[in-house]
Amino acid sequence: MQPLRIVLAQPRGFCAGVVRAIDTVEGAIRKYGAPVYVRHEIVHNAHVVNDLRDKGAHFVEELSEVPDGAITIFSAHGVAHSVVEEARARGLPVLDATCPLVSRVHVQVRRHAAAGRAVVLIGHAGHVEVVGTMGQVDSPVHLVSCEADVERLVFPAGAEIAFVTQTTLSIDDTRGIIAALKARFPAILGPETSDICYATQNRQVAVRELCDSVDLLLV
Protein backbone atom coordinates (compact mmCIF):
# COMPACT_ATOMS: atom_id res chain seq x y z
CA MET A 1 0.00 0.00 0.00
CA GLN A 2 1.27 3.43 -0.93
CA PRO A 3 1.85 5.74 2.04
CA LEU A 4 -0.78 8.45 2.47
CA ARG A 5 0.48 11.86 1.40
CA ILE A 6 -1.26 14.86 2.97
CA VAL A 7 -0.84 18.27 1.36
CA LEU A 8 -1.84 21.43 3.25
CA ALA A 9 -3.06 24.34 1.15
CA GLN A 10 -1.08 27.55 1.34
CA PRO A 11 -2.63 29.96 2.05
CA ARG A 12 -5.28 28.36 4.25
CA GLY A 13 -7.39 29.20 7.28
CA PHE A 14 -9.39 32.30 8.09
CA CYS A 15 -8.81 35.77 6.69
CA ALA A 16 -8.03 38.68 9.02
CA GLY A 17 -11.64 39.91 8.92
CA VAL A 18 -12.98 36.56 10.15
CA VAL A 19 -10.33 36.31 12.87
CA ARG A 20 -11.25 39.83 13.99
CA ALA A 21 -14.95 38.91 14.15
CA ILE A 22 -14.33 35.75 16.18
CA ASP A 23 -12.00 37.65 18.53
CA THR A 24 -14.72 40.28 19.01
CA VAL A 25 -17.18 37.68 20.28
CA GLU A 26 -14.66 35.88 22.49
CA GLY A 27 -13.39 39.19 23.87
CA ALA A 28 -16.93 40.33 24.67
CA ILE A 29 -17.63 37.11 26.58
CA ARG A 30 -14.41 37.51 28.59
CA LYS A 31 -15.06 41.17 29.36
CA TYR A 32 -18.80 41.24 29.95
CA GLY A 33 -19.59 37.59 30.69
CA ALA A 34 -22.15 35.35 29.01
CA PRO A 35 -24.50 35.65 27.35
CA VAL A 36 -23.71 38.01 24.50
CA TYR A 37 -26.03 38.26 21.50
CA VAL A 38 -24.78 38.08 17.92
CA ARG A 39 -27.03 39.17 15.08
CA HIS A 40 -26.70 36.35 12.57
CA GLU A 41 -23.92 33.75 12.75
CA ILE A 42 -20.70 35.66 13.24
CA VAL A 43 -19.15 33.79 10.28
CA HIS A 44 -20.41 30.98 8.06
CA ASN A 45 -18.57 28.17 9.84
CA ALA A 46 -20.50 25.63 11.91
CA HIS A 47 -17.48 24.60 14.02
CA VAL A 48 -16.75 28.21 15.01
CA VAL A 49 -20.41 29.03 15.67
CA ASN A 50 -20.93 25.92 17.84
CA ASP A 51 -17.75 26.64 19.80
CA LEU A 52 -18.84 30.21 20.49
CA ARG A 53 -22.33 29.03 21.39
CA ASP A 54 -20.80 26.69 23.99
CA LYS A 55 -18.90 29.66 25.44
CA GLY A 56 -22.06 31.73 25.84
CA ALA A 57 -22.83 33.42 22.52
CA HIS A 58 -26.48 33.51 21.47
CA PHE A 59 -27.04 33.83 17.73
CA VAL A 60 -30.23 35.60 16.64
CA GLU A 61 -31.63 36.80 13.33
CA GLU A 62 -33.43 39.92 14.57
CA LEU A 63 -32.72 42.48 17.25
CA SER A 64 -36.20 41.82 18.66
CA GLU A 65 -34.69 38.60 20.03
CA VAL A 66 -32.09 40.53 22.04
CA PRO A 67 -33.05 41.42 25.65
CA ASP A 68 -32.90 45.07 26.65
CA GLY A 69 -29.41 46.11 27.70
CA ALA A 70 -27.69 42.95 26.41
CA ILE A 71 -24.32 43.14 24.68
CA THR A 72 -25.06 42.99 20.94
CA ILE A 73 -22.59 42.13 18.19
CA PHE A 74 -23.03 42.67 14.47
CA SER A 75 -21.58 39.83 12.39
CA ALA A 76 -18.70 40.08 9.93
CA HIS A 77 -21.20 40.34 7.05
CA GLY A 78 -22.42 43.79 8.08
CA VAL A 79 -25.96 45.07 8.63
CA ALA A 80 -28.36 47.50 7.01
CA HIS A 81 -28.57 51.06 8.29
CA SER A 82 -32.04 50.31 9.68
CA VAL A 83 -30.55 47.70 12.01
CA VAL A 84 -28.03 50.22 13.33
CA GLU A 85 -30.84 52.70 13.93
CA GLU A 86 -32.96 50.07 15.69
CA ALA A 87 -30.08 49.21 18.03
CA ARG A 88 -29.47 52.88 18.74
CA ALA A 89 -33.15 53.52 19.45
CA ARG A 90 -33.20 50.67 21.96
CA GLY A 91 -29.95 51.79 23.57
CA LEU A 92 -28.31 48.42 22.98
CA PRO A 93 -24.55 48.33 23.64
CA VAL A 94 -23.23 47.31 20.23
CA LEU A 95 -19.88 45.87 19.12
CA ASP A 96 -19.52 46.02 15.35
CA ALA A 97 -17.57 43.06 13.95
CA THR A 98 -18.26 43.97 10.30
CA CYS A 99 -15.33 43.05 8.06
CA PRO A 100 -13.43 46.25 7.16
CA LEU A 101 -13.63 45.37 3.47
CA VAL A 102 -17.43 45.09 3.71
CA SER A 103 -17.51 48.43 5.51
CA ARG A 104 -15.54 49.93 2.65
CA VAL A 105 -18.17 48.73 0.17
CA HIS A 106 -20.86 50.28 2.38
CA VAL A 107 -19.04 53.60 2.22
CA GLN A 108 -18.87 53.39 -1.58
CA VAL A 109 -22.61 52.71 -1.83
CA ARG A 110 -23.45 55.68 0.37
CA ARG A 111 -21.06 57.94 -1.52
CA HIS A 112 -22.47 57.00 -4.93
CA ALA A 113 -26.05 57.41 -3.74
CA ALA A 114 -25.26 60.81 -2.22
CA ALA A 115 -23.84 61.88 -5.58
CA GLY A 116 -27.11 60.91 -7.27
CA ARG A 117 -25.76 57.84 -9.04
CA ALA A 118 -27.73 54.65 -9.59
CA VAL A 119 -25.96 51.84 -7.75
CA VAL A 120 -25.58 48.31 -9.11
CA LEU A 121 -24.47 45.54 -6.73
CA ILE A 122 -22.97 42.32 -8.05
CA GLY A 123 -23.91 39.60 -5.59
CA HIS A 124 -26.13 36.71 -4.56
CA ALA A 125 -29.74 37.50 -3.65
CA GLY A 126 -30.52 36.85 0.00
CA HIS A 127 -26.90 36.60 1.13
CA VAL A 128 -26.50 38.35 4.50
CA GLU A 129 -23.74 40.62 3.21
CA VAL A 130 -25.84 41.61 0.21
CA VAL A 131 -28.86 42.41 2.40
CA GLY A 132 -26.71 44.66 4.56
CA THR A 133 -25.10 46.41 1.59
CA MET A 134 -28.43 47.05 -0.13
CA GLY A 135 -29.72 48.50 3.13
CA GLN A 136 -27.11 51.24 3.36
CA VAL A 137 -29.25 53.76 1.48
CA ASP A 138 -32.93 54.54 1.03
CA SER A 139 -32.65 54.72 -2.76
CA PRO A 140 -32.83 51.49 -4.79
CA VAL A 141 -29.73 49.31 -5.15
CA HIS A 142 -29.97 47.17 -8.28
CA LEU A 143 -28.78 43.59 -7.68
CA VAL A 144 -27.29 41.55 -10.52
CA SER A 145 -26.17 37.95 -10.14
CA CYS A 146 -25.43 37.02 -13.76
CA GLU A 147 -24.92 38.57 -17.17
CA ALA A 148 -28.59 38.08 -18.04
CA ASP A 149 -29.51 40.34 -15.10
CA VAL A 150 -27.40 43.10 -16.63
CA GLU A 151 -29.49 42.99 -19.80
CA ARG A 152 -32.64 43.58 -17.73
CA LEU A 153 -31.36 46.77 -16.09
CA VAL A 154 -33.23 49.92 -17.06
CA PHE A 155 -32.12 53.44 -16.13
CA PRO A 156 -33.33 56.90 -17.21
CA ALA A 157 -31.48 58.48 -20.10
CA GLY A 158 -28.37 60.28 -18.91
CA ALA A 159 -28.32 58.54 -15.52
CA GLU A 160 -24.95 58.20 -13.84
CA ILE A 161 -24.30 54.62 -12.77
CA ALA A 162 -21.78 52.95 -10.47
CA PHE A 163 -21.24 49.36 -9.39
CA VAL A 164 -19.87 47.55 -6.34
CA THR A 165 -19.47 43.85 -5.61
CA GLN A 166 -20.11 41.40 -2.81
CA THR A 167 -16.71 40.85 -1.22
CA THR A 168 -16.80 37.05 -1.03
CA LEU A 169 -17.32 36.42 -4.73
CA SER A 170 -14.36 35.28 -6.79
CA ILE A 171 -12.85 37.25 -9.61
CA ASP A 172 -14.04 34.46 -11.92
CA ASP A 173 -17.61 35.00 -10.66
CA THR A 174 -17.59 38.70 -11.44
CA ARG A 175 -15.41 39.03 -14.55
CA GLY A 176 -18.18 38.37 -17.07
CA ILE A 177 -20.74 40.47 -15.21
CA ILE A 178 -18.40 43.46 -15.00
CA ALA A 179 -17.64 43.12 -18.71
CA ALA A 180 -21.38 43.06 -19.47
CA LEU A 181 -21.96 46.17 -17.33
CA LYS A 182 -19.20 48.08 -19.09
CA ALA A 183 -20.47 46.99 -22.49
CA ARG A 184 -24.01 48.25 -21.77
CA PHE A 185 -22.99 51.31 -19.78
CA PRO A 186 -19.55 52.48 -20.97
CA ALA A 187 -19.46 55.39 -18.49
CA ILE A 188 -20.24 53.22 -15.46
CA LEU A 189 -18.01 53.83 -12.45
CA GLY A 190 -16.40 50.91 -10.65
CA PRO A 191 -14.39 50.57 -7.45
CA GLU A 192 -11.03 52.32 -7.26
CA THR A 193 -9.61 48.92 -6.35
CA SER A 194 -11.22 45.50 -6.39
CA ASP A 195 -13.91 44.89 -3.80
CA ILE A 196 -13.18 41.17 -3.98
CA CYS A 197 -11.63 39.90 -0.76
CA TYR A 198 -8.04 39.07 -1.70
CA ALA A 199 -7.87 36.45 1.07
CA THR A 200 -10.92 34.66 -0.32
CA GLN A 201 -9.52 34.81 -3.84
CA ASN A 202 -6.12 33.46 -2.75
CA ARG A 203 -7.74 30.50 -1.00
CA GLN A 204 -9.93 29.76 -4.00
CA VAL A 205 -6.85 29.75 -6.23
CA ALA A 206 -5.08 27.39 -3.83
CA VAL A 207 -8.05 24.98 -3.91
CA ARG A 208 -8.16 25.09 -7.70
CA GLU A 209 -4.46 24.31 -7.99
CA LEU A 210 -4.63 21.50 -5.45
CA CYS A 211 -7.45 19.84 -7.38
CA ASP A 212 -4.99 19.23 -10.22
CA SER A 213 -2.57 17.28 -8.04
CA VAL A 214 -4.53 15.36 -5.36
CA ASP A 215 -7.09 12.55 -5.33
CA LEU A 216 -9.27 14.00 -2.55
CA LEU A 217 -9.62 17.56 -1.31
CA LEU A 218 -11.12 18.26 2.13
CA VAL A 219 -12.27 21.80 2.95
Cα–Cα dist 66/109, whole Å:
28
Give which of 87, 134, 133, 100 is closest to 24, Cα–Cα: 100
pTM: 0.88
Q: Which residues pair with 144 in a beta bridge?
A: 122
Residues 144-154 pLDDT 10s:
999 999 999 99
Mean pLDDT score across all residues of the chain: 92
**How would you class 32 by CB atoms within 10 Å of its CB: exposed for 0-12, middle for 13-18, buried for 19 or more?**
middle
Q: Which residues pair with 57 in a beta bridge?
A: 36
Q: What is the dihedral of CA 152, 140, 43, 30, to 10 degrees?
A: 180
Helix (H) or strand (E) holding 33: none
Give percent above pLDDT 70 in the chain.
Answer: 98
pLDDT value of residue 160: 97
Cα–Cα dist 14/171, whole Å:
19
Say if CB 178 and CB 122 are below 8 A apart.
Answer: yes
Cα–Cα dist 131/79, whole Å:
7
Identify residue 74 by its one-letter amino acid code.
Answer: F
Residues 14-38 pLDDT 10s:
888 889 999 999 999 999 999 999 9
Report the length, in residues, of the chain.
Answer: 219
Give which of 122, 157, 115 is closest to 139, Cα–Cα: 115
Say if CB 127 and CB 44 are below 8 A apart.
Answer: no
Cα–Cα dist 124/133, whole Å:
12
Give which of 121, 127, 111 is closest to 164, Cα–Cα: 121
Residues 52-86 pLDDT 10s:
999 999 999 999 999 999 999 999 999 999 999 99
Q: Which of 129, 147, 160, 209 is catalytic?
A: 129
Q: What is the CA 159 to chain-centroid distance, rounded?
A: 28
Identify residue 115 by its one-letter amino acid code.
Answer: A
* 129 in active site: yes
